C-alpha cells in the first residue's frame, strides 16, 4: 500500500474515531484492530503497521469505493427520519422495498454522525451473537462476560452518550427469541436513545399475525413503534438517469437501456448499479476496439 493510500485510510479512520468518545471505544467496534494500532496510524507512526493490518483496516472502513451515491428522495427521507429519531430519542420502523437504498443511507448517516451505531441482523444470529455484536458495535468490550452482563454494559454505556442512535438493519430477519431484546432495549433507554429498525414490508404481516395470535412479545414490539411502519419515496426514472450521470455513464442510449432494464424490477438500486457497470464495461470495450 503506497503512502497516498495510507493517508486516505488514515483520514477515513480519523473520521470514524470522531464518532466515539475514545480510541479504545473505536477499536472495540472494529475487528482485530487495537487501540494502539489506531493511535499509531493517526500519529503517522506507519513503520509499526504491517501491510496486512493496513488491508484489514481498509476493508472495514472503505465502503462503496468507485461508486458514487446519489441522494435520491428515499435517501433524503431516510436521512430525515434518522436525524429526527436521534435528536428526539424516537423509535420507528422503516419498512420499505429491498433495493430502495435503506442500508446505504443508514451507513452514510452513521459515518457522518457521532454516537450512531448500525448493526446488520442475520437469521442465524443467536442471542449471544446479537448481544456480543451489539457490544462491539457500540464500543463495549464484552470478552469474558455472560450474555446478561454484556447486555447490561451496553445499556449502561449508551445512557452516558449524547443523543445516541441504534440502527438495526434487516431487523425482520431475527428469530423471535432475539427480537425480544428490542423490548428490553426500549424499556431501558426510552427517551434517552433513538432506535430505528429497517426491513422490507414483510415485517408488517409477521407482526400483525403475531399480535392477532397473541404471540409473546409482538404486541409490545408493535406498541413501541406506535403501531406505524414508515415507507420511503420510490426511486424515479429521473433519479436513475442522475445516478447514471454521477457514475460516468453519459451516453443517452446507454442511459435509456439502463432505465428500461431496471424498470421491470421496481428501479432496484442494486440492479441499477449492475446495469450501469455493464454499460460502462461495454463502452470501454468499444473504445478499445
Which is more confidently placed, 132 or 25?
A: 132
67's CB contacts (< 8 A; 6+ apart) are: 247, 273
Q: What is the pLDDT of residue 289?
A: 53
**Residue 195: pLDDT over 70:** yes
Q: Averaged over 74-103, what is the pLDDT?
A: 96
Looking up cell 450501469 gives: 276
> Phi/psi of residue 162, each to 5°?
-85, 110
What is the average pLDDT score of the chain? 92
Residues 6 or more apart whose Cβ sits within 8 Å of residue 97:
200, 201, 234, 266, 268
- Return the top range by mean pLDDT from 57-71, 105-119, 185-199: 185-199
**pLDDT over threshold 60, residue 35:** yes
Would you state the pLDDT for residue 250?
A: 87
**In the chain, % of residues over pLDDT 90:** 73
Give me the count of residues in the chain: 289
In the prediction, which pLDDT does 61 show? 80
CATH topology of domain 73-230: Rossmann fold (3.40.50)
Q: Indicate the domain borders of the chain.
A: 3-61, 73-230, 237-288
DSSP symbol at 93: E
**Spatial separation of the C-alpha atoms in residues 221 and 195, rounded to whole Å:** 12
The cell for 55 is: 488491508
- Tell me: the pLDDT tens digits for 216-233? 999 999 999 999 999 999
Looking at residue 64, its pLDDT comes to 38
- Confidence band of 284 (pLDDT split at 50, 70, 90): confident
pLDDT for residue 141: 87
pLDDT tens-digit series, residues 235-257: 999 999 999 988 888 899 999 99
H/E stretch holding 188 reads helix 176-189
Per-residue pLDDT, 27: 83
- Using one digit for the tens of pLDDT, what is the confidence trace for 152-182? 999 999 999 999 999 999 999 999 999 999 9
- Looking at residue 68, its pLDDT comes to 76
Across 87-97, average pLDDT: 97
Residue with cell 449502561: 156
Q: Is this prediction's pTM over 0.85? A: no
Predicted pLDDT at 62: 63
- pLDDT value of residue 66: 62
Amino acid at each position: 500500500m503506497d503512502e497516498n493510500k495510507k493517508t486516505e485510510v488514515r483520514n477515513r479512520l480519523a473520521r470514524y474515531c470522531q464518532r466515539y468518545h475514545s480510541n479504545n471505544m473505536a477499536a472495540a467496534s472494529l475487528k482485530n484492530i487495537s487501540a494502539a494500532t489506531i493511535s499509531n496510524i493517526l500519529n503517522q507512526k506507519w513503520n509499526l503497521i504491517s501491510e496486512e493490518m493496513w488491508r484489514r483496516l481498509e476493508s472495514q472502513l472503505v465502503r462503496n469505493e468507485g461508486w458514487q451515491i446519489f441522494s435520491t428522495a428515499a435517501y433524503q427521507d431516510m436521512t430525515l427520519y434518522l436525524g429526527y429519531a436521534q435528536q428526539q430519542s424516537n423509535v420507528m420502523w422503516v419498512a420499505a422495498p429491498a433495493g430502495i437504498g435503506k442500508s446505504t443511507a443508514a451507513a452514510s448517516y452513521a459515518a457522518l454522525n457521532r454516537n450512531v451505531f448500525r448493526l446488520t441482523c442475520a437469521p442465524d444470529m443467536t442471542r449471544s451473537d446479537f448481544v456480543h455484536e451489539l457490544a462491539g458495535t457500540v464500543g463495549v468490550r464484552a470478552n469474558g462476560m455472560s450474555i446478561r452482563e454484556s447486555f447490561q454494559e451496553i445499556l449502561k454505556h449508551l445512557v452516558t452518550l449524547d443523543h445516541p442512535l441504534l440502527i438495526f438493519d434487516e431487523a425482520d430477519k431475527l428469530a423471535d427469541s432475539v427480537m425480544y431484546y428490542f423490548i428490553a432495549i426500549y424499556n431501558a433507554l426510552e427517551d434517552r436513545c433513538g432506535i430505528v429498525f429497517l426491513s422490507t414490508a414483510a415485517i408488517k404481516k409477521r407482526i400483525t399475525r403475531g399480535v392477532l395470535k397473541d404471540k409473546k412479545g409482538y404486541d409490545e414490539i408493535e406498541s413501541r413503534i406506535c403501531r406505524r411502519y414508515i415507507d420511503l419515496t420510490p426511486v424515479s426514472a429521473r433519479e436513475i438517469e442522475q445516478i447514471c450521470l454521477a457514475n460516468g455513464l453519459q451516453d443517452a442510449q446507454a442511459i435509456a437501456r439502463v432505465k428500461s432494464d431496471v424498470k421491470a424490477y421496481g428501479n432496484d438500486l442494486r440492479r441499477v448499479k449492475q446495469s450501469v457497470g455493464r454499460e460502462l464495461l461495454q463502452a470501454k470495450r468499444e473504445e478499445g476496439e
